[in-house]
Homo-oligomer: A and B are copies of this chain.
Amino acid sequence: MFDQITVLGPGLLGASILKAAHKRGLAKRIVAWAHRKERVKQCEEQPWCSAAYASIQEALDGADMVILATPVDNIIDLLRSIGPHLKEGAIVTDAGSTKTLICNQGESSFPPSAHFVGSHPMAGSEKSGLENADETLFEGRTCLVTPIPQANDIATERVVRFWESLGMNVTCISPEAHDQAVANISHLPQILASSLCAYLGSTDSHWHRFSGGGLRDTSRIASSPPDLWKEIILQNRSFILRAIEGMERELHTVKSAILDNDASHLARVLAQGKAYRDKLEKFYQHKKEAQSNTEENP
């Protein structure tokens, strides 16, 4: 149990962390810091909130566990400035979707008496904001914890245990391995969905009336917030550029097969895509079954 958990940035994710930590009794005090006064007031009214502040120094005072749950560019800014306010032995983690820059910043900005270990809890919702906070948001979901080689082992262990105690399945990987993986399986799909919709927006005045489930699903995540995503993409630019280039090569192969009227070549790429997607579906089914078994036998 911690003496005090402080979350900086009580949006959907941050407030859900606090609510879940309160419910599971993980800390004596549950504290939030928000930039805007109205948000501070809103936090103070929540039953799960011991105290809320607009001053970072006050919010960090006495905290032995600190979670940065702001957009990724603000995480970098906060890491630069919070060092002097951290309690001796404080453990700090974050909930950002990129890890290399954040973990490097944590390493270079902190005093030796405090420990930063990055995290990426892979949980979210179509909804946003504190008012949609959900203490079950993390149950059965994956959390990637990304210690750098020189990370303090005890701090890493406590961060892992923290997410596990919210019901998450935790895997430790390096910040770089994390960023390479998500560049491909998360950031590239986001860029494709957004680019597809930007392209269609420039051409389609009424075609969408004939569209069905294919376009609906393929494009769904294009409705994600542009301001959050531009920062995520720029923080992970080298891996993302490589992923886009890989995708461009694949699309070029398809285009050549169509230009050459090469049915067997085209069928081969479609079959490779299907093989991967079928494997993915099996993985999702397996995960779903594992989760429902856990719920039945907790």
Contacts and interface: CB of A to CB of B under 8 A. Distances in A.
Interface in A179-212: 180-182, 184-186, 188-204, 207-212
Interface string A211-223: 1111111111111
Nearest to A189: B218
A240 interface: yes
A259 interface: yes
B197 A184 contact: no
Main secondary structure of the interface of A (DSSP, over half): helix
Interface size class of A (residues with CB under 8 A): 35 or more
B186 A214 contact: yes
B269 A194 contact: yes
Number of copies of chain A assembled together: 2
A272 B195 CA distance: 9
Contacts of A207: 180-181, 184-185
Given A218-B218, A263-B234, A226 B196 contact: no
A226 B257 CA distance: 14
Nearest to A272: B198
Nearest to A283: B208
A274 B233 contact: no
A172 to B, nearest CB: 12
Contact of A211 (B222, B234, B263, B280): B280
A200 B181 CA distance: 10
A258 interface: yes
A36 interface: no
24 contacts: A122-B212, A124-B212, A142-B209, A144-B210, A185-B200, A185-B207, A186-B211, A189-B219, A192-B196, A194-B254, A194-B269, A194-B274, A196-B250, A196-B273, A208-B280, A214-B221, A216-B284, A217-B220, A219-B280, A222-B273, A226-B271, A234-B266, A247-B251, A251-B251
Given A191-B254, A197-B280, A218-B218, 14 more contacts: A185-B204, A186-B214, A196-B250, A196-B273, A204-B276, A219-B280, A226-B274, A230-B266, A230-B270, A231-B263, A241-B258, A244-B251, A245-B255, A248-B248
Interface of A: 122, 124, 142, 144, 171, 178, 180-182, 184-186, 188-204, 207-227, 229-231, 233-234, 237, 240-241, 244-251, 253-255, 258-259, 261, 263, 266-267, 269-281, 283-284
